[in-house]
Structure 1
Amino acid sequence: MPTELKSPQQSQPLFTKTTRFPTGLYGITPEWDDFSRLFTAIETACHAGLPILQWRRKNTPFDVALEQASMVAKVCKNTGTTFVINDDWQLALAVKADAVHLGKDDASVLTVQKALQTESHSLLIGVSCYNQLELAQKAILHDVDYLAFGAVYPSSVKPNAVRAPLRLFREARDLFSPTSSSPQTLVAIGGITRQNAAPVIQAGADSIAVISGLFEQTDIAQTTKDFIQLFKQNYHD
């Protein structure tokens, strides 16, 4: 179902546009071994107004992931941060996350949608489209909630990732039905920092996904606020 924008409790809504998934800064957790450090960083960003957080922990045993993600889910609930689980829709259901993100090697959208039909808890679904409009078109037909394109810049997290030109955001928007009142959110990912985010937002991205550009910064709270200000200055619905 289409959803209204969800904003952090600490501030008034930044945007009036109605999309299926919130707009703005989309923080993704780094692969730190120290969970205590990671949890503190997450709390800092969320309390600074982070609109969206994705839990991304590769190769973590399910029981460990469940314990850790449950703690993060409570923080997100308390701050009004939309909580996304990467890859694992079953973990997303277990911690009652808001959404799940699916890549090309994860469960298919149809598999997850079918599983959700028998669940009391619903999930928004986002998918990686890399640099391929064909994947975006397929995802729109499957009625997902957001489409992610990237890497828009060279990425230190995924140095071999394909590059996604910024024109893709306008081209993807042209795929939407002109009668749609709640189109899919377009997410940009890959090498985004405070210094290079503005052109991405101006190109048509509704949300920017950031890992190192947020969590590897000395002042995470101020970095979060800086990104939010960038959206105020550059985002137009």
Structure 2
Amino acid sequence: MDGNGRWAQSHGLPRFEGHRRGAEAVRRTVTAAQELGIEALTLYSFSSENWSRPEQEIFELMGLLKRFIRSDLQELHAKNVRLRIIGEGHPTDPEVQQLLDDAQTLTSANTGVRLTVAFNYGSRNEIARAAQELARQVAAGRLRPEEITPERFGEALDTVGLPPLDLMIRTSGEQRLSNFLLWQAAYAELVFLPVYWPDFDRTWLERALAEFGGRERRFGGVTPGEG
């Protein structure tokens, strides 16, 4: 979900207004995902690198996150959305962490769209944490090194239990992964859209899905008849 700040700048507005409009785009996208029958949706809300942003912007972002949870949680729950948070949690604000924990608990039995929010998340850090956990299991004698397969490694990642990643969408025209779901995206289709996140809606989601649907996914294989 990229381009909040640039959207605000292009409209002559403060950056916070871009983040606020970005929260509205989240609501639209979750609703569209439900209507389109998408099983799982993962949103990159705040990266571990975002702490380097100006202190006032971080304060405003945390306030926006709190308001979003308080105002939208009951609606998400009523719509049968199951919320999950991945990442390292919040290092300084116990209130944010408690809100996130309560939201996951409330929706844990829901069976609709599986909405995963990556918060204080970085994929290389996630991979390192998974490797550390497997190393601890080896050191404790609970796991043999040869038992560390790609499947076993995937079970140590934050996204364990989620379906395979099929499609990754990045907004704002940027064409890189920026430390998001690097392991999980090994065979994902990548779609880069020339739209700032605050303007993202069902039409743009359907455009990405149409592009995804038109691609031939080989997973390293060869289509019959090809040389």
Q: Under a length normalisation based on structure 2, what TM-score does the superposition of the two structures give?
A: 0.40
Higher-Rg structure is 2
Q: Which has the higher contact order (CA 8 A, sep 6+)?
A: 2
Structure (1 or 2) with the greater helix fraction: 2
